[in-house]
A and B are shown apart, each in its own frame.
Chain A
Amino acid sequence: MTSQTFPIAKDNDGKSIGKFILSELKPRGKWLTPFNIISIPTILLGIGLIVIRYVQGLGAITNLTQEVPWGLWIGFDVVTGVAFAGGAYVVTFMVYILNMRRYHSIVRVTVLNGFLAYAFYTGALLLDLGRPWNVVNPMIGNNFGTSSVLFLVAWHFVLYMLAELIEFSPAIAEWLGSRKAKRILSGMTIGAVIFGITLSTLHQSGLGALYLMCKDKIHPLWYSEFIPVLFFVSSIFAGLSMVIFEGSISHKVFADQIEDKEKSHKTQNTVVHSLSKVCAVTMFAYFCLQFLVFIHAKRWDLINSPMGYWFLTEMIGFVFIPMVMFFYSYRTSNIKMIRIAAILTMIGVVMNRLNVTVIGFRWDAAVHYVPSWMEIVVTLAVIFTEIWIFRWVINRMPVLRESPAWAKEKH
């Protein structure tokens, strides 16, 4: 089996594969949408700033200090972004391992989202590296720092991206119209899923474990030896909230991708409805864990302080309340309330990750780190570029759309 014998172009009206991809690269649809008007200048500005970063050094566009060497790009882009990408491993777990087929309709879009999130957030990580030309060292075995949590996280990241690419690849094969590739790649799905879930468990918690050595640097309300567990559990409902949120947007924006609108609307609602239960239960577990950690570490005297109130806001306002909302709206099938709960949950996860990595990090320092506007613009540029690619893929590959008829035959 050599690559030439792949009957790739067969189903594309005899066009050669090169021409086909070229024609697909062209943008489609209207240009002057509100999203484009905001995102294009931001992306251009972001590119400009990245050029400055490489010409003058990190200090030129970031507000990082010697005491706070990791800022928004790590704390938000990487740590928070990866938590939101957790939806992919949770959904593949439910669909492929637990065989809950009713979630099948959201698998592809969730995996795509997860894959792009990882690709872009690790991309953001490269921007943050001072000496990026050495980034291959921990990969090619030019000294393995095996006692390093970051080493593990890096490896689990890279392998996980591979697993997600395999999980998504049948959609690419369908797009290219290659039956044989599709058959082979589909056969690899379950292996990739098992591999991917394992890797996710470890790097979701690993991102928390990165901060275990910062015992004296992180505010005691957010530091505990249980950060890895807390990060892992919260990644479940963070990811699912993102799935709910992203689903409600995609279904409007990409309405043209969906043939049977009524049916799709109904499945979407049942999916959202049952996801709300999973969110509620995991949030309950998370809340209990946080409470136990709080009691265990005897933190009562820390509560009556500005940081204490901030902690309470996070725990009550953005964990407890959305949890109750999820429970309640699950029982009453209130889809709208589920969406609101998902948004609150997402805000809570952003708060939590930033509290550990940025806000609570060196909270007692004389000078606080506040991200520069340039760091924020670069972050936005990264997110917007990701959405561009996401849109490009959705408009071309069978993600929200039904697979082509030939791909649905049972084999």
Chain B
Amino acid sequence: MSIDRRIFFKTAALIGVSMAIGKSFGASSPEKGESGEVEFHGVLYDSTRCVGCQECERVCAAAHDLPEPTETVETGKVRKTSDHQRSVINSYKTSKGDAFVKNQCMHCNEPACTAACLTEAMYKTKEGPVIWRGEKCMGCRYCMVSCPFDTPKFEFMSTNPKIVKCDMCYDRIQKGQLPACVEGCPGEALKFGTRRELIEEARKRIAASPDAYQHEIFGENVAGGTGFLYLSAAPFKEIGLNTQLQNSSYPALTKGFLYSVPSVDVLLPPLLLGIYAATKNNHIKEEEEND
């Protein structure tokens, strides 16, 4: 009997721990949309204004101590961001003529990468940029596995590898400056602001010249909404944007599992204990039969 009581207390303690863990889940679940007083910021990229000069690529490299990009844009050739390039410009042949498209981290409202990260090294700041914090990261690359846009890149050839991706120049934003690419763009294809303002602005542009644009903003809904927003003359599919992605958030896909964890942690041990108590004398019978 005394043994049973001990087990009971152990189980009770376990339940307590699980409950505590369970609570913290609820607390840390990412909130959709703008949080608190600070609104999410983002960048509106207007492909119709982009001239493909690659100035954004150069200033980005300079701002983050990366090698100056030398490759030029070629229509039809898709370049990707890499462990030494956070932002690239590509050119596509579309039904509306050749179009340039910038590519970088989308700064999702509910990022898959931050939900994946077990150390909160990937972090959605309250201002909106999604940043990477090297002092926390253990290099597991789960953020890369999870990001639907394949954004984070890893320095495979380094002994102190970093995760490389656009951080919307978070350090500059904090100082009140614009992201380097936005500041450097000669054609005003990039505009920085709160996500709400940018969506309004984008709608205005579409309304003002409805023939020049697709009547949609890429990023308004995709993956639960993103900080980078795209306007384009040609259908998004034709300019290399992934239109297959779901509109709801990616971390939501794991919610069901995550919420069930505390309940399993809490409910299973007493259940097992119950079965144990119920069957405890079975083996005596079994032994008797054998004798």
The interface of chain A, by Cβ under 8 A from chain B, is 54-60, 62, 64, 66-67, 69-70, 93, 96-102, 128-132, 134-135, 137-138, 142-152, 154, 187, 190-191, 193-195, 197-198, 201-202, 205-206, 209-217, 225, 228
Q: Is A212 a contact of B117 with CB atoms below 8 Å?
A: no
Q: Is B161 a contact of A57 with CB atoms below 8 Å?
A: yes
Least distance between B278 CB and chain A CB atoms (Å)? 9
Q: Is A149 a contact of B287 with CB atoms below 8 Å?
A: no
Q: Is B268 a contact of A60 with CB atoms below 8 Å?
A: no
Contact of A57 among B112, B158, B276, B287 (CB under 8 A): B158
Least distance between B281 CB and chain A CB atoms (Å)? 8
11 pairs of residues in contact across A and B, judged by CB atoms under 8 Å: A99-B276, A129-B139, A131-B134, A131-B160, A146-B25, A147-B114, A147-B251, A148-B117, A148-B118, A148-B142, A209-B258
Q: Is A144 a contact of B24 with CB atoms below 8 Å?
A: yes
Taken together as a complex, chains A and B put the C-alpha atoms of A347 and B275 apart, in Å, by: 33
Q: Is A66 a contact of B7 with CB atoms below 8 Å?
A: no
Contact of A66 among B3, B150, B242, B264 (CB under 8 A): B150
Q: Is B120 a contact of A69 with CB atoms below 8 Å?
A: no
- B216 contacts chain A at the CB level, 8 A cutoff: no
- B177 contacts chain A at the CB level, 8 A cutoff: no
Contact with A along B106-140 (1 / 0, CB 8 A): 00000010111111110000000000001111111
Considering residues A130, A206, A228, which has the most beta carbons from chain B within 10 angstroms of its beta carbon?
A: A130
Report B207-234 residues with CB < 8 Å from chain A CB: none
Q: Which residue of B lies closest to A101 (CB)?
A: B283
Considering residues A55, A147, A187, which has the most beta carbons from chain B within 10 angstroms of its beta carbon?
A: A147
Chain A residues lying within 8 Å of B242, measured Cβ to Cβ, are: 216
Q: Is A212 a contact of B246 with CB atoms below 8 Å?
A: no
Q: Is B144 a contact of A69 with CB atoms below 8 Å?
A: yes
The 7 closest A-B pairs by CB, nearest first: A130-B139, A59-B156, A131-B139, A151-B118, A143-B120, A69-B141, A130-B161
Report B241-285 residues with CB < 8 Å from chain A CB: 242, 244-246, 250-251, 253-254, 256-258, 261, 264-265, 268-269, 272-273, 275-276, 279-283
Q: Is B144 a contact of A66 with CB atoms below 8 Å?
A: yes
Chain B residues lying within 8 Å of A128, measured Cβ to Cβ, are: 140
Q: Is A194 a contact of B11 with CB atoms below 8 Å?
A: yes
Chain B residues lying within 8 Å of A54, measured Cβ to Cβ, are: 159
Taken together as a complex, chains A and B put the C-alpha atoms of A362 and B137 apart, in Å, by: 25
- B145 contacts chain A at the CB level, 8 A cutoff: yes
Taken together as a complex, chains A and B put the C-alpha atoms of A130 and B265 apart, in Å, by: 31
Taken together as a complex, chains A and B put the C-alpha atoms of A151 and B287 apart, in Å, by: 44
Chain A residues lying within 8 Å of B275, measured Cβ to Cβ, are: 97-98
Q: Is B138 a contact of A132 with CB atoms below 8 Å?
A: yes
Q: Which residue of B lies closest to A95 (CB)?
A: B283
- B94 contacts chain A at the CB level, 8 A cutoff: no
Chain A residues lying within 8 Å of B159, measured Cβ to Cβ, are: 54-57
Chain A residues lying within 8 Å of B161, measured Cβ to Cβ, are: 57-58, 130-131
Taken together as a complex, chains A and B put the C-alpha atoms of A70 and B152 apart, in Å, by: 13
Q: Is A59 a contact of B265 with CB atoms below 8 Å?
A: no
Q: Is A143 a contact of B136 with CB atoms below 8 Å?
A: yes
Q: Which residue of A lies closest to B24 (CB)?
A: A146
Taken together as a complex, chains A and B put the C-alpha atoms of A146 and B83 apart, in Å, by: 28
Q: Is B265 a contact of A190 with CB atoms below 8 Å?
A: no
Taken together as a complex, chains A and B put the C-alpha atoms of A214 and B244 apart, in Å, by: 13
- B14 contacts chain A at the CB level, 8 A cutoff: yes
Contact of B116 among A57, A138, A213 (CB under 8 A): A213
Taken together as a complex, chains A and B put the C-alpha atoms of A194 and B282 apart, in Å, by: 18
Chain A residues lying within 8 Å of B269, measured Cβ to Cβ, are: 194-195, 198
Taken together as a complex, chains A and B put the C-alpha atoms of A187 and B250 apart, in Å, by: 45
Q: Which residue of B lies closest to A136 (CB)?
A: B138
Q: Is A57 a contact of B258 with CB atoms below 8 Å?
A: no
Least distance between A185 CB and chain B CB atoms (Å)? 14
Residues A130 and B138 in contact in the complex (CB < 8 Å), given A147-B25, A148-B115:
yes
Residues A145 and B117 in contact in the complex (CB < 8 Å), given A66-B80, A101-B287, A197-B272:
yes
Report B4-18 residues with CB < 8 Å from chain A CB: 6-7, 10-11, 14
Q: Which residue of A lies closest to B143 (CB)?
A: A69
Least distance between B257 CB and chain A CB atoms (Å)? 4
Q: Is A58 a contact of B156 with CB atoms below 8 Å?
A: yes
Report B26-72 residues with CB < 8 Å from chain A CB: 28-30
Taken together as a complex, chains A and B put the C-alpha atoms of A332 and B236 apart, in Å, by: 62
Chain A residues lying within 8 Å of B283, measured Cβ to Cβ, are: 99-101
Residues A213 and B251 in contact in the complex (CB < 8 Å), given A149-B116, A150-B140:
yes
Taken together as a complex, chains A and B put the C-alpha atoms of A187 and B2 apart, in Å, by: 11
Least distance between A312 CB and chain B CB atoms (Å)? 25
* 11 additional contacts (CB under 8 A) given A60-B157, A130-B161: A57-B159, A69-B154, A130-B137, A131-B139, A137-B136, A143-B136, A194-B11, A198-B14, A198-B269, A201-B264, A213-B146
Considering residues A64, A151, A197, which has the most beta carbons from chain B within 10 angstroms of its beta carbon?
A: A151
Chain B residues lying within 8 Å of A210, measured Cβ to Cβ, are: 142, 145
- B153 contacts chain A at the CB level, 8 A cutoff: yes
Taken together as a complex, chains A and B put the C-alpha atoms of A152 and B116 apart, in Å, by: 11
Q: Which residue of B lies closest to A70 (CB)?
A: B145
Taken together as a complex, chains A and B put the C-alpha atoms of A15 and B265 apart, in Å, by: 45
Chain A residues lying within 8 Å of B279, measured Cβ to Cβ, are: 97-99
- B194 contacts chain A at the CB level, 8 A cutoff: no
Taken together as a complex, chains A and B put the C-alpha atoms of A152 and B21 apart, in Å, by: 10
Contact of B276 among A152, A194, A201 (CB under 8 A): A194
Q: Which residue of A lies closest to B254 (CB)?
A: A212
- B200 contacts chain A at the CB level, 8 A cutoff: no
Taken together as a complex, chains A and B put the C-alpha atoms of A67 and B80 apart, in Å, by: 11
Residues A216 and B145 in contact in the complex (CB < 8 Å), given A131-B161, A143-B136, A191-B7:
no
Q: Is A131 a contact of B137 with CB atoms below 8 Å?
A: yes
Q: Is B138 a contact of A131 with CB atoms below 8 Å?
A: yes
Q: Which residue of B lies closest to A208 (CB)?
A: B257
Contact of B7 among A56, A194, A205 (CB under 8 A): A194
Least distance between A249 CB and chain B CB atoms (Å)? 28
Chain B residues lying within 8 Å of A216, measured Cβ to Cβ, are: 148, 242, 244-246
Least distance between A67 CB and chain B CB atoms (Å)? 6
Q: Is B256 a contact of A225 with CB atoms below 8 Å?
A: yes
Chain B residues lying within 8 Å of A144, measured Cβ to Cβ, are: 24, 120
Chain A residues lying within 8 Å of B150, measured Cβ to Cβ, are: 66-67
Least distance between A375 CB and chain B CB atoms (Å)? 13
